[in-house]
Amino acid sequence: MEEKKQEETVEQSKQAVQKDALGLWESSKKFLFELLDFRHDTDQAATIEAIKSDIAFKGATSWILICSIFVASIGLNANSTAVVIGAMLISPLMGPILGIGMSIAINDIDTLRKSMINLATMIVLSLLTAFLFFFLFPLREETSELLGRVRPDIRDVLIAFFGGLALIIARTKKGTIASVIFGVAIATALMPPLCTAGYGLAIGNFDYFLGAMYLFTINAIFIALATFLVLKLLGFTMIRYVNSKKRKRIAQIASLIALLVMIPAVKTFINVYKDTITQASFDKYIKTEVENNENLWLNGEPKKDDRTKQIKLRFNGEISPAIETNLKMKVKDYDRISDYEVIVAGNKSRSIDDISKSLERAYSNLDQKDYVINGLQDKIKELENRISGLNATIEKADKNSIPFSTIARDAKIRFSDIKQISFSKVLSTKDFIKIDTIPEARIVWNNNLKEDYITKKEKELRNWMQKELKLDTLYIQQIK
The fold adopted by the segment(s) 39-239 is: Glycerol uptake facilitator protein (1.20.1080)
Q: Could you tell me which of 411, 412, 413, 417 has the C-alpha nearest to residue 451?
A: 417
- Quote the distance between the C-alpha of residue 17 and its chain's center: 52
In 3-state terms, what secondary structure has residue 311?
A: strand
The model's pLDDT over 146-185, given as tens digits with 9 standing for 90+, comes to 776 666 667 777 777 888 888 788 778 776 555 455 545 5
Partners of 444 in the β-ladder: 420
Partners of 477 in the β-ladder: 442
pLDDT at 211: 84
Same CATH topology for 39-239 and 404-478: the answer is no
In 3-state terms, what secondary structure has residue 175?
A: coil
Q: Are 262 and 101 in contact (CB under 8 A)?
A: no
pLDDT at 371: 45
Model confidence at 352, pLDDT cuts 50, 70, 90, reads: very low
Judged against a pLDDT cut of 70, whether residue 23 lies above it is answered with no
Q: Average pLDDT in the 230-255 region? A: 70
Distance CA 258, CA 111 (A): 14
pLDDT at 466: 83
**Hey, where are the domains in the chain?**
1-34, 39-239, 352-400, 404-478
In 3-state terms, what secondary structure has residue 189?
A: coil
Judged against a pLDDT cut of 90, whether residue 407 lies above it is answered with no
The residue among 373 and 61 whose pLDDT is bigger is 61
Mean pLDDT is highest, among 215-224, 254-263, 267-276, for: 215-224
pTM: 0.54
In 3-state terms, what secondary structure has residue 327?
A: helix
Judged against a pLDDT cut of 90, whether residue 55 lies above it is answered with no
Distance CA 51, CA 421 (A): 73
DSSP class of 172? H
- Based on its alpha-carbon atoms, the radius of gyration of the chain, rounded to whole angstroms, reads 36
Mean pLDDT is highest, among 66-70, 142-146, 434-438, for: 66-70
Judged against a pLDDT cut of 90, whether residue 109 lies above it is answered with no
* Sheet containing 341-347, strands listed edge to edge, beginning at the edge strand earlier in sequence: 303-305, 310-316, 341-347
In 3-state terms, what secondary structure has residue 48?
A: helix
Distance CA 279, CA 273 (A): 10
Distance CA 435, CA 29 (A): 86
pLDDT at 372: 47
In 3-state terms, what secondary structure has residue 237?
A: coil
Judged against a pLDDT cut of 70, whether residue 205 lies above it is answered with yes
Q: What is the mean pLDDT of the chain?
A: 76
Beta-strand pair 418-428/436-445: antiparallel
Q: Which CATH number applies to 404-478?
A: 3.30.70
Q: Could you tell me which of 235, 222, 224, 223 has the C-alpha nearest to residue 42?
A: 235
Q: Could you tell me which of 215, 338, 341, 337 has the C-alpha nearest to residue 278?
A: 337
Q: Average pLDDT in the 113-132 region? A: 90
State the number of CA atoms in the 13 A half-sphere of 122 facing the CB. 31
Q: Average pLDDT in the 430-446 region? A: 79
Q: Average pLDDT in the 224-231 region? A: 86
Model confidence at 314, pLDDT cuts 50, 70, 90, reads: confident
Task: Please enumerate in sequence order all residues whose Cβ is within 8 A of that of 338, keeping only pairs 6 or more positions apart, or say none.
Answer: 331, 332
DSSP class of 173? B
Mean pLDDT is highest, among 85-89, 103-107, 245-249, 373-377, for: 103-107
Distance CA 95, CA 50 (A): 9
Q: Could you tell me which of 102, 90, 101, 96 has the C-alpha nearest to residue 182?
A: 90
Q: Average pLDDT in the 104-128 region? A: 88
Model confidence at 241, pLDDT cuts 50, 70, 90, reads: low
Q: Average pLDDT in the 283-308 region? A: 82
pLDDT at 187: 47
- Quote the distance between the C-alpha of residue 406 and its chain's center: 33
Q: What percent of the chain has pLDDT over 70?
A: 69
DSSP class of 38? -
First to last CA, the chain: 74
**Helix ranges (DSSP H) in 37-153:** 44-55, 60-77, 81-90, 94-106, 109-136, 144-147
pLDDT at 65: 84
Task: Please state, as a whole number, how many other Cβ atoms lie within 10 Å of the Cβ of residue 17.
Answer: 10
Beta-strand pair 475-478/341-347: unpaired
Distance CA 120, CA 172 (A): 25
Specify the range with the lowest mean pLDDT, choosing from 135-139, 163-167, 361-365: 361-365
Q: Are 102 and 90 in contact (CB under 8 A)?
A: no
Distance CA 150, CA 193 (A): 8
Distance CA 269, CA 156 (A): 10
pLDDT at 39: 65
Model confidence at 319, pLDDT cuts 50, 70, 90, reads: confident
| Ordered DSSP codes for 312-326 | EEEEEB---HHHHHH
pLDDT at 124: 92
Distance CA 282, CA 303 (A): 10
Judged against a pLDDT cut of 90, whether residue 128 lies above it is answered with yes
Q: Are 123 and 194 in contact (CB under 8 A)?
A: yes
Q: Which amino acid is at 297?
A: W
Judged against a pLDDT cut of 70, whether residue 191 lies above it is answered with yes
Judged against a pLDDT cut of 80, whether residue 209 lies above it is answered with yes
pLDDT at 289: 84
Model confidence at 349, pLDDT cuts 50, 70, 90, reads: very low
Q: Average pLDDT in the 454-473 region? A: 83
Distance CA 104, CA 98 (A): 10
State the number of CA atoms in the 13 A half-sphere of 423 facing the CB. 17
The residue among 79 and 116 whose pLDDT is bigger is 116
Judged against a pLDDT cut of 80, whether residue 378 lies above it is answered with no
